[in-house]
């Protein structure tokens, strides 16, 4: 996650990494519950990061055909480890839609 900027600011959009995919996998059940859908394809494509009292991630997720989700995930810390919480999901996005933090 080299794209981080000063605390509170969002980094540039970058290609998703294995770590970002792992974060997406951690919140997949939360995403499916929020959207009331099951996803056979669920692949992180792009992301942005924001340093807060933990870490915010804004992630573009491919969910099949030309369909993409934009999800926001908060990475927080518990006494027994890291906790990932889905804070927002936007459906009906496309590959060319930019990750804009103010939108979600």
10 Å Cβ neighbour count for 10? 18
Q: Which among 58, 61, 37 has a CA at the least distance from the CA of 49? A: 58
pLDDT of residue 102: 65
The answer to whether 14 and 47 are in contact (CB under 8 A) is yes
DSSP for residue 88: E
Per the domain annotation, does 24 fall within a domain? yes
Per the domain annotation, does 7 fall within a domain? no
Number of domains within the chain: 1
Per the domain annotation, does 100 fall within a domain? no
Q: What mean pLDDT value characterizes the chain?
A: 90
Per the domain annotation, does 2 fall within a domain? no
Instruction: Identify the CATH number of the domain in which residue 82 sits.
Output: 3.10.450
Look up residue 66 and give its two tokens. Answer: 């030309």
Per the domain annotation, does 37 fall within a domain? yes
Q: What is the pLDDT of residues 38-90, one digit of tens each?
A: 999 999 999 999 988 789 999 999 999 999 999 999 998 766 667 999 999 99
pLDDT of residue 45: 98
Q: pTM to 2 decimals?
A: 0.88
Does residue 24 or residue 103 have the better pLDDT? 24
d(C-alpha 97, C-alpha 59), whole Å? 12
Q: Which domain holds residue 24?
A: 14-93
Per the domain annotation, does 103 fall within a domain? no
**Element holding 32 (H helix, E strand):** helix 18-35
Q: What is the pLDDT of residues 2-37, one digit of tens each?
A: 544 456 789 999 999 999 999 999 999 999 999 999
Per the domain annotation, does 18 fall within a domain? yes
pLDDT higher than 60, residue 1:
no
DSSP output for 34-85: HHT---S--EEEEEEEEESSSEEEEEEEE-STT-EEEEEEEEEEETTEEEEE
Per the domain annotation, does 53 fall within a domain? yes
């Amino acid at each position: 996650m080299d794209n981080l900027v000063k605390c509170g600011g969002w980094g540039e959009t970058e290609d998703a990494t294995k770590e970002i995919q792992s974060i997406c996998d951690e919140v997949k059940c939360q995403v499916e519950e929020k959207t009331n859908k099951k996803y056979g394809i669920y692949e992180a494509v792009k992301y942005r990061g924001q340093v807060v009292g933990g870490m915010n991630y804004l992630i573009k997720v491919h969910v099949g055909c030309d369909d993409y989700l934009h999800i926001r995930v908060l990475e927080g810390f518990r006494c027994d480890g890291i906790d990932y919480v889905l804070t927002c999901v936007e459906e009906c996005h496309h590959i060319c839609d930019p990750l804009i933090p103010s939108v979600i």
